């Protein structure tokens, strides 16, 4: 019976959903652009069939969106350090961006490179670009070069700088450009902007869209924010799924939220246990002896500067 149904569905998918004509050499069918589940032979047939298809189309589009939204990312949006190939910490202070090549490199590899050169003539550990003494001017020049070749990281970092200097119009322009190029952090920043109305009008629909796009790309803070949105709308099951995904990426807040949810009887113990194991594994994966030594070195160096 199931084979017959599959054959029928397969045959139907190659026939116009409105008039029933099948695809042949001189007749090409096109999928519904939204749900991609049915086909039409012409725009006229699509328009005539729209009233019948609208509800099913909307439902299928939501299903397709959820399939993407609730897929567990392989890693956070930060990815791995390009030198040691270990996952980058969610603490961005531990992984500075290099203006010369826009690579984000962990402090462990940064410090190792500095010590290897004896602390002189610092060069990027990735592209080996040597920085001059006028670091700020050179950094600005390097960032502009990266922006000119549509580097989304450089564009987003420039947007952040413009935002800090209260040039919100340029900041939003750059955030939107970086987001269009697929930068998860830019999507998150846009989501926050639409949340608080900074540089743009407050817009809940755009806020949700950009937060979801960032979450899909592995941004744990955005994922946690989407979970909070779902919780406020009364969608507890969906919220818990988001919190679990964020926790498995190593997000402290999401893990704490799951524990609190369990204490209130809203989250199952088995879900908390599974998330905790994945959370700890994600956190441990960002640790190494070299990174620990780097943190000690940087702390001692900062203490030295304060005493000088």
Listing DSSP states for 140-197 in one string gives HHHHHHHHHTT-HHHHHHHHHHHHHTT-HHHHHHHHHHHHHTT-HHHHHHHHHHHHHT
pLDDT of amino acid 154: 95
* Distance between CA atoms of residues 175 and 160, nearest Å: 8
Element at 72 (helix H, strand E): none
Q: pTM of this prediction?
A: 0.86
8 Å CB contact between 224 and 230: no
pLDDT of amino acid 142: 87
The radius of gyration computed from the CA coordinates of the chain, to the nearest angstrom, equals: 25
pLDDT of amino acid 3: 44
**pLDDT tens, N- to C-terminus, the chain (308 residues):** 344 434 434 445 789 999 999 888 688 899 999 998 899 999 999 999 999 999 999 999 999 999 999 999 999 999 999 999 999 999 999 999 998 999 999 999 999 998 887 766 678 999 998 876 556 677 888 889 999 999 999 999 999 999 998 899 999 999 999 999 999 999 999 999 999 999 999 999 999 999 999 999 999 999 999 999 999 999 999 999 999 999 999 999 999 999 999 999 999 999 999 999 999 999 999 999 999 999 999 999 888 878 86
φ/ψ of 248, rounded to 5, equals: -70, -15
8 Å CB contact between 117 and 123: yes
Element at 82 (helix H, strand E): none
φ/ψ of 24, rounded to 5, equals: -135, -175
φ/ψ of 30, rounded to 5, equals: -120, 140
Closest CA to 224 of 275, 152, 157: 275
pLDDT of amino acid 5: 34
């Amino acid at each position: 019976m199931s084979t017959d149904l599959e054959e029928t569905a397969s045959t139907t998918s190659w026939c116009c959903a409105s008039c029933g004509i099948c695809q042949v050499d001189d007749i090409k069918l096109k999928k519904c652009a939204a749900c991609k589940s049915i086909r039409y032979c012409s725009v006229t047939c699509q328009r005539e069939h729209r009233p019948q298809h609208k509800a099913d189309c909307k439902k299928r589009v939501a299903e397709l969106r959820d399939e993407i939204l609730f897929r567990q990312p392989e890693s956070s949006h930060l990815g791995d350090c390009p030198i040691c190939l270990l996952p980058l910490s969610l603490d961005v202070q531990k992984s500075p961006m290099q203006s010369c090549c826009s690579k984000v490199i962990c402090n462990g590899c940064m410090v190792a490179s500095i010590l290897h050169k004896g602390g002189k003539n610092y060069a990027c550990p990735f592209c080996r670009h040597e920085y001059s003494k006028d670091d700020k001017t050179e950094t600005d020049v390097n960032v502009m070069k990266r922006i000119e070749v549509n580097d989304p990281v450089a564009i987003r970092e420039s947007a952040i700088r413009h935002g800090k200097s209260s040039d919100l119009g340029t900041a939003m322009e750059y955030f939107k450009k970086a987001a269009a190029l697929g930068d998860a952090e830019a999507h998150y920043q846009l989501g926050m902007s639409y949340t608080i109305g900074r540089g743009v009008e407050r817009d809940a629909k755009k806020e949700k869209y950009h937060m979801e796009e960032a979450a899909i790309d592995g941004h744990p803070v955005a994922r946690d924010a989407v979970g909070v949105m779902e919780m406020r709308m009364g969608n507890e099951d969906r919220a818990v799924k988001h919190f679990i995904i964020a926790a498995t990426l190593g997000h402290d807040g999401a893990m704490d939220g799951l524990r609190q949810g369990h204490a209130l009887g809203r989250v199952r113990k088995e879900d908390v246990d599974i998330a905790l194991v994945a959370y700890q594994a994600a956190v441990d994966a960002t640790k190494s002896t070299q990174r620990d030594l780097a943190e000690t070195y940087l702390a001692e160096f900062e203490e030295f500067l304060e005493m000088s």
